[in-house]
């Protein structure tokens, strides 16, 4: 079982602990996409962490829209810890999506814009 090597995993006790700022920081610092992986809906050990995270992802997607960054770069999935295979699949899927979008405009535009100058 393998997942793409260009995925960086940040482990958190509950997906509910990931705030908008964490997602933004990751993107700002060079991640081309961010994928939140939490427990299945209704199965949160902390009762509502994954539910909150899902709403928060929507919020950040809106922020990304304002920045003209593709919303697809951010996604949230519910995968339980036993579903290693599903995780790998999702990881591949996410990588594929992000790859098809290309590098985050943050990098490309920064380069092209600076060239124009």
Partner 1 sequence: MFSKVGSVLVIGGGIAGIQASLDLADSGYFVYLIEKASFIGGKTAQLDKTYPLNDCSFCIRSDKHMECISHTNIKILTLSEVKDIKGSSGDFEATIIQHPRYVDIDKCTNCGLCAERCPEEVNDEFNEGLGKRKVIYLEFPEAAPNSYVIDRKNCLHFTEAGCNICKEACMEKAIDFDQKEQNISLNVGSIIFAAGFDSIIPPYYDYDKLPNVITSMEFERIHSLNGPYGGHLVRPSDRKEPSNIAWLQCIGSRDIYHNYCSSVCCMYAIKQAILARRSNKMLNATIFFMDMRVCGKDHERYYNHAKNEDNIRFVRSKVHNVFPVSGTDDLLIRYADEQGNIYEEIFNMVVLSLGLEPSHDAVRLAGNLGITLDKNNFVETSSFTPVNTSIPGIYVCGAFNAPKDISESITEASAAACASSLNAVSKVALPEPFEVTEQKPVPAGLIIGGGVTGMVSGLCLADQGYKVYLVEKTNKLGGHALKLRKTFKGEDVKSYIKELIDKVENHPLIDVCLNSEVKHTDGYAGNFSTRIAISSSTETKNIKHGVTIISTGADFLRTSEYLYGKNSRVLIWFHTDKILSEEPNTIEKANTWVFILCVGSREPERPYCSKICCSSALRNAMELKKLNPDMEIYVLYRDMRTYGLIEDLYTEARDKGIVFIRYKLDGKPEVEEDQDGKLMVRVKDNLLGEDLIIQPDFVTLQTAIVPGNNENLAKLFKLPVDQDGFLKEAHKKFKPVEFTAKGIYFAGLVHSPKPIDEAISQAQAAAAKAVTVLSREYISTNTEVASIDLKLCVACLTCARICPAGALIINGMGKPYIEPQKCFGCGICAVECPVKAISLEHFNNDLILTECEAFL
Partner 2 sequence: MIVGQQKDFDEIKKMISGYNRILVLGCQTCVAISFAGGMREVEILASMIRMDRKMAGQDIEIVEDATLRQCDFEFLDSVENRVDNCDAVLSLACGVGVQALAERYPDKVILPGLNTTFMGLTEKMGVWSERCAGCGNCILDKTGGLCPIARCSKGLFNGPCGGSMDGKCEISPDVDCVWQLIIDRLTALNQLEKLEEIFPIKDWDVSGHGGTRKIVREDLTA
| Contacts (Cβ under 8 Å, ≥6 apart) of 103 | 32
Is residue 12 within 8 A of residue 38, CB to CB? The reply is: no
Q: Which residues make up the interface to partner 1 (CB under 8 A)?
A: 1, 8, 10, 12-14, 16-19, 21-23, 25-26, 29-31, 39-40, 43, 45-49, 52, 80-86
- CA–CA dist 97, 72 (Å, integer): 8
Q: Which 65-94 positions form the footprint of partner 2 (CB under 8 A)?
A: 66-69
Least distance (Å) between residue 107 CB and partner 1: 9
Give me the DSSP letters along 59-86: HHHHHHHHTT--GGGEEEEE--TT-HHH
Report in angstroms how near the CB of residue 63 gets to partner 2 at its nearest: 6
Measured CA to CA, the distance from residue 6 to residue 95 in angstroms comes to 8
Q: Which of 6, 25, 48, 84 binds partner 2 (CB under 8 A)?
A: 25
Q: Which is nearer to partner 1, 34 or 61 (CB)?
A: 34
- Pick 46 or 102: Cβ nearer partner 1: 46
């Amino acid at each position: 079982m393998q997942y793409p090597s260009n995925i960086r995993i940040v482990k958190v006790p509950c997906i509910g602990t990931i705030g908008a700022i964490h997602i933004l920081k990751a993107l700002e610092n060079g991640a081309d996409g961010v994928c939140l992986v939490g427990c299945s809906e209704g199965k949160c050990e902390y009762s509502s962490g994954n539910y909150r995270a899902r709403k928060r992802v929507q919020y950040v997607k809106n922020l990304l829209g304002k920045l003209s960054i593709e919303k697809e770069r951010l996604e949230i999935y519910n995968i339980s810890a036993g579903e290693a295979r599903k995780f790998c699949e999702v990881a591949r899927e996410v990588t594929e999506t992000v790859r098809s979008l290309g590098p985050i405009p943050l990098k490309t535009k920064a380069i092209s814009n600076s060239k124009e100058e």
